[in-house]
Amino acid sequence: MKDLSLLFILMLLIGIMGSCQVEPKPIPFGAANCAHCNMTVADNRFGAEIVNEKGKAFFFDSGECLIAYLKEQPELQDKAAFVLVSDFTNPSKLIDARQATYVQSKAIPSPMGMHLLAVENKSSAVALQQENGGRLLTWNEAVLAVQNNERPE
């Protein structure tokens, strides 16, 4: 009987710990509003998400809104458990925003008009740039582009 009680307590603790895991949430496209600009998050090629250390998810309609929000909420930059953007070439996949390669091309409009998109691997980004023109950016360069409101000419 004592063994069953210990087993029950162990299973209960595992269940509680599992329910408290901080994980990315699926972006509810068409139902969520952008935490920065309040537009409906609709285009899955440009969606973005921040999950804080407590597991609360914030959704964005574009990478530029995510970056602007982080600038306005600097405490989130270090405490965020996940900072994610949609992979433009595989929109169902969220990727680490800080590891993504960004393409800024006038030929590819984004929801907020900065023509900024994220791609998981650099070779796909280079292919998009060769097809559409524009420039490649790292995370830090994308942050500076948003801060300086740099738009393609």
pLDDT for residue 24: 96
pLDDT for residue 153: 77
Checking if the pLDDT of 2 tops 80, the result is no
Separation between Cα atoms, residue 59 and residue 54, nearest integer Å: 15
Could you tell me the pTM of the whole model? 0.85
pLDDT for residue 38: 97
Provide the mean pLDDT of the chain: 91
pLDDT in tens, 39-94: 999 999 999 999 999 999 999 999 999 999 999 998 888 889 999 999 999 999 99
Q: Provide CB contacts within 8 A for 89, sequence distance 6+.
A: 119, 120, 124, 128
In the chain, beta strands by DSSP E = 48-51, 57-60, 82-87, 90-96, 101-104, 116-119, 135-137
Checking if the pLDDT of 99 tops 70, the result is yes
pLDDT in tens, 23-48: 999 999 999 999 999 999 999 999 99
Mean pLDDT, residues 92-110:
97
Separation between Cα atoms, residue 43 and residue 34, nearest integer Å: 12
pLDDT for residue 45: 97
Neighbours of 13 (CB within 10 A): 10
16-30, 32-46, 99-113, 133-147: least confidently modelled range: 16-30
